[in-house]
Amino acid sequence: MVKGLYAAYTGMINEQNRMDVLTNNLANAATTGYKKEGATSQAFNDVLAYKIKDTSEYVNLAKRIGNMNLGVKIGENYTDYSQGAFRVTENTFDLAISGSGFFTVEFTNKAGVTSTKYFEDHIEYLVTKDGDYVLSSTGNRIRLDPTQEADIDSSGRISQNGVAVATVGLTDFEDYNYLEHYGENYYQPVEGFETKPADALIRSGYLEASNVQAVSEMVE
């Protein structure tokens, strides 16, 4: 009976993790560019228990289970990178990516350490809503003349007074399993990542909404 209580306890812990993920999704349902997350569970201990009691090996001698926990284990969390709906803003400097890719952003933390982050989605310099510099295709900050109108085409090329100023930098990755969340809607690569050219178009005057379906998350 005691083992049964511990098994039930692991189920509660697993469900708590799932609820944490769902509530975080709901909290970010209105966050521009947010990609929802999901949670998985593992029944590895059950499989291992069968293996340990397998009498077909070692001269038909079953091995003891010992103090192994037979309950469920929390598996991996994952991110759903599917495209969110586009919202029209009619602001030239609101940009959304149609396709696979991320904006490249120069990010500075509270300690003053600068690093590169990636953002799936406003000016002397072109910045995000949080004030981080959006980088060009050459890795430089994009400086604009605030007194002139600007135009941004589907390739991300920014023109002012008929002259090309810069092209918005896009980055894509061979395997999104090498990305991890940073903050609300930034991503940073982990060791082993590989980049590739982004197969995407840039939509000026749009923002990509979160891909969270609030009703579905509430049902879950």
In the numeric block, the tokens 């100023």 are attached to 165
Phi-psi region of 154 (alpha: psi -120 to 50; beta: other; left: phi over 0): alpha
If you average pLDDT over residues 165-170, what whole number do you get?
94
Q: Which of 97, 119, 122 has the alpha carbon at shortest distance from 107? A: 119
Q: Residues with Cβ < 8 Å from 158, sequence gap 6 or more? A: 126, 142, 144, 150, 151, 152, 164, 165, 166, 167, 168
For residues 31 and 119, the model is more confident at 31
What rounded mean pLDDT belongs to the chain?
Answer: 83
pLDDT at 7 > cutoff 90: no
Half-sphere exposure of 5 (CA within 13 A, CB side): 2
What pTM, to 2 d.p., does this model score?
Answer: 0.73
Phi and psi dihedrals of 141, rounded to 5?
-65, 150
CB atoms within 10 A of CB 30: 11
* Model pLDDT, residue 122: 47
pLDDT of amino acid 8: 82
> Residues of the chain with pLDDT > 90: what percent?
48
Average pLDDT over residues 173-187: 88
Q: Is the pLDDT of residue 110 over 60?
A: yes
Q: In the prediction, which pLDDT does 194 show?
A: 94
Task: Answer whether residue 72 shows pLDDT above 70.
Answer: yes
Residue 197 pLDDT more than 70? Answer: yes
As a whole number, mean pLDDT of residues 94-113 equals 85
